[in-house]
Amino acid sequence: MGPNMKRISDASRGKIASMEHRLSGVLRPIKPSKEFVRGISLRIRTKPRVAFVDRIANWRLIAILIAGLVSLTVFMAVLGRALLSLVDKKRNPENENL
């Protein structure tokens, strides 16, 4: 390390030491009241009121899924009846005129 760098390094260390000394006098730990801590902890632990809006959106999704499943069930029943009808016609060709 050159003499210039050593001088800059020593000056920086001096400034840092001076700043630490000032901050140690200014920054002191505090002891908050129990009511303050309890109030903060309650706000942190409880869900925000926005969660209710999310539940409404979830109900819409659930309703859409249920409607889709009912529609699929009806479609499968109609398709099954149509296939059974076609198979029955192939087995008994005399029923075509009925």
Listed by start position, the domains of the chain span 48-98
CA distance 93 to 76: 25
* Across 58-77, average pLDDT: 92
Are 89 and 95 in contact, with CB atoms under 8 Å apart? yes
Q: What is the token pair recorded at 52?
A: 């209710």
DSSP string, 18-78: HHHHHHHHH-------HHHHHHHHHHHHSPPTTHHHHHHHHHHHHHHHHHHHHHHHHHHHH
- Put simply, whether the predicted model's pTM sits higher than 0.75 gets the answer no
pLDDT for 30-57, tens place per residue?
Answer: 888 999 988 888 878 766 666 556 666 6
Which residues does 13 contact at the CB level (< 8 Å), separation at least 6?
A: none
